Amino acid sequence: MKCLVVIVLFSSVWAWPSDFSEYDGPSFAQRQQDINRLLYKVDDILQFAELKEVADNFDPEADLSSYSDGGEAVKHLLTELRDHRLLKKHHWFSLFNKRQREEALILFDVFMHCKTWQATINNAAFFRERMNEGEFVYAIYAALVHTDLGRGIVLPPLYEVTPHLFANSEVIHKAYTAQMTRTPGKFQMEFTGSKKNPEQRVAYFGEDIGLNTHHVTWHLDFPFWWDDIYGYHLDRKGELFFWAHHQLTVRFDIERLSNHLNFVDELYWDKPIREGFAPHTAYRYGGEFPARPDNVEFTDVTGLVRVRDMIIYESRIRDAIALGYITAADGSHINIRDEHGIDHLGNIIESSAYSPNLEYYGALHNEAHILLGRQGDPKGKFKLQPGVMEHFETATRDPAFFRLHKHIDNIFKEHKDTLPPYTKEQLEFTGVVLDEIVVNGPLETYFEDFEFSLINAVDHNPEFGEVDVSAVVKRLNHKPFNLNIEITNENVDNKHAVVRVYLCPTTDANGVELSLEKARWNCIELDKFWTKPGPHRKLRRQFLIPQASSRSSQQSTRQSTRELKFISRSSTEDAAFPIGCFFRKDAKKAWV
Ligand code: CUO
């Protein structure tokens, strides 16, 4: 930790409101139980009599007044279902697959138009039994994130709902054996690869189940396919794409520095992909995730992505940066040399539906995920399924993920470097002075065991019941510390201030001091909160130990699905797992 420094910045920007609203309908407990039960063993039939009854007998078209679109979406989905066009059950699902995404989004559209909780649950039960499981899970998570009906609902952690996408094949096989032999077990999960691979030193980060959950959840919050016809605009989505992935990339770099590896290099379309990868992870249906040897040259993916298109799209994006404007589909120019430029640029690079010119700027980021995901079988000769890069749950496992995102981050930096520096007036907070910051505590990290349930990874025969199976994996944590921040407000009134805390590297892996420019670009956001400093206001900010609720905006709390069937008992595990700067604090105590 000696190569890192803590930096505190503060400004007068307004902060975010509380997001809870009164809800007129079934209680939180009832709604939470409905969701838990729908997501319990999604690869099997519904295990709960009431929901099974709904699934068997509900007619989605019987009462079209329960939909805000008059039932248009549900009629569309039923037509697809009756015409046998939907993806079958027990098949892999990837959001990057256009048709599979379309199907998931028709169901999402149905949920978005349900006027009541009951209509949502009835449709969920009905389509859960008739649609592909991956499409169902994606649609219901996205709907709960983006509708008022989902407010306050704790989404069960995806690593326990779809464990195959988070756990390696070895522990999954052990869980199967345990179920077959009816012997409960806790299985130690190791990181993939061997010590012969230097990248193995940071596998704990890319394979962290919390990091992967954070990543997939971020993309649920800000989906690239989002269209404002769903009811609202996702403010600064392109900018947040940049920021979230910038933070992912620089945090990975800090982990590398701590493990005597230097900053990750970017990838190049015309050079071999230096690191190979063997995922040691399998789909629940469809076999192992494909592997890729070291130093593979980029090859076109038949029918999906051409390498030369990536070069062309990127060159157009770099032209836009050099010129200072994006060319919209109607030929007009959109200025990017202002505070909104990064947002527009994020939209065209991510290939968001918000892109003003998808035809011209293409789908650089999304197609890069597919291109990298398919390099093990680019021609489709071996009928291999999508690679880890084609799922947000698994993408960071592959070291190529960070090379890709370093490459993309450098494109954003190229844009940032064209902007004029902030002025003194823009930066100063008149009359408010940061006098002192004291860090109390060791700033020390360590690994600890973390257990999660594998019960949803295995099939069971109801006649013989389930056995308890779980995985135990090493995860990064830190010793408690707190920050005392002393601020003087020389104004006569209270000021509303936002405090941001960053942790920044000062040297590279060889101990060579970094330039200020390099160091500041690699800072990770450790915390962000608002306060109203009165005269001589002192702030104390604690970073607490696991098992307590943490206050940092960047720490995670977790929930377990362990007690899904026994939801009348409390199943909340409100432990904080502060691996760093990425995790949502999404576990509100709603399980009662
Ligand atoms: Cu999150 Cu490339 O966007 O993974």
pTM for the whole thing? 0.89
> Could you tell me the strand order of the sheet in which 481-489 lies?
432-440, 481-489, 537-543
Measured in Å, residue 78 CA sits from the centre of ligand 1 at: 32
* Residue 33, phi then psi, degrees to nearest 5: -65, -40
Q: How close is the Cα of 408 to the center of ligand 1, in Å? A: 10
Do the beta carbons of residue 467 and residue 179 sit within 8 Å? yes
Distance CA 581, CA 119 (A): 38
Give the nearest ligand 1 atom to 366 CA: 2
Burial of 368 (0-12, 13-18, 19+ CB in 10 A): buried
Does ligand 1 lie within 6 Å of residue 395's CB atom?
yes
Work out the average pLDDT over 524-544: 75
Which of 9-13, 92-96, 284-288, 421-425 shows the lowest mean pLDDT across its residues? Answer: 9-13
In short, whether 369's Cβ falls inside 6 Å of ligand 1 is yes
Determine the distance separating the centroid of ligand 1 and the alpha carbon of 165, expressed in angstroms: 16
Mutate to test the pocket of ligand 1, among 405, 406, 407, 409 (most ligand atoms within 8 A of CB): 405
Is the minimum distance from the CB of 214 to ligand 1 under 6 angstroms?
no
Question: What's the confidence (pLDDT) of residue 18?
Answer: 34
The reply to whether ligand 1 has any atom less than 6 angstroms from the CB of 365 is: yes
Ligand 1: nearest atom to the Cα of 218 = 1
Inform me whether the pLDDT recorded for 401 exceeds 50: yes
The answer, yes or no, to whether residue 556 has pLDDT greater than 70, is no
Give per-residue pLDDT as tens, 166-176.
999 999 999 99
Q: What is the mean pLDDT of residues 84-106?
A: 98
Residue 363 has pLDDT above 80, yes or no: yes
The pLDDT assigned to 592 comes to: 19
Q: At residue 576, does pLDDT exceed 90?
A: no
Pocket test for ligand 1, best of 245, 367, 398 (most atoms within 8 A of CB): 245
Mean pLDDT, the chain, whole residue set? 87
In ligand 1, which atom is closest to the CA atom of 350? 3
Q: Which residue has the higher pLDDT, 567 or 189?
A: 189
Atom index in ligand 1 nearest the CA of residue 369 equals: 2
Distance 2 CA to ligand 1 centre (A): 30
Q: What is the pLDDT of residue 17?
A: 34
Report residue 465's pLDDT band, with 50, 70 and 90 as the boundaries.
confident
Cβ count near 591 (within 10 Å): 23
Contact 131, 103 (CB under 8 A): yes
How far, in Å, is the centroid of ligand 1 from the Cα of 215? 8
Looking at residue 548, its pLDDT comes to 30
Predicted confidence (pLDDT) at residue 24 exceeds the cutoff of 80: no
Distance CA 34, CA 200 (A): 41
Cβ(267) to ligand 1 under 6 A? no
pLDDT at 490: 85
Q: What is the whole-number distance in angstroms between the Cα of residue 245 and the centre of ligand 1?
A: 7
Please state which of the ranges 9-23, 167-181, 215-229, 476-490 shows the lowest mean pLDDT.
9-23
pLDDT for 1 equals 41
- Closest-lying ligand 1 atom to the alpha carbon of residue 396: 4
The mean per-residue pLDDT over the stretch 490-508 comes to 88
pLDDT at 3 > cutoff 70: no
CB 245 near ligand 1, within 6 Å = yes
pLDDT exceeds cutoff 90 at 583: no
Q: Give the pLDDT of residue 479.
A: 87
> Which residue's C-alpha comes closest to atom 4 of ligand 1?
392
For residue 408, the ligand 1 atom closest to its alpha carbon is: 2
Average pLDDT score over residue span 347-373: 97
- Is 215's C-beta closer than 6 angstroms to any atom of ligand 1? yes
Instruction: Say which DSSP state 50 is in.
Output: H
Query: Which numbered atom of ligand 1 lies nearest the CA of 245?
Result: 1
Q: Which atom of ligand 1 is nearest to the CA of 215?
A: 1
Rounded distance between C-alpha atoms, residue 12 and residue 431, angstroms: 11
CB contact at 8 A, 31 and 153: yes
Q: Is the pLDDT of residue 435 over 90?
A: no
- Cβ neighbours for 280, distance < 8 A, ≥ 6 positions apart: 168, 169, 170, 192, 193
Ligand 1 centre to CA of 395 (Å) is 8
Ligand 1 centroid to 391 CA: how many Å? Answer: 9
What ligand 1 atom has the least distance to the C-alpha of 248? Answer: 1
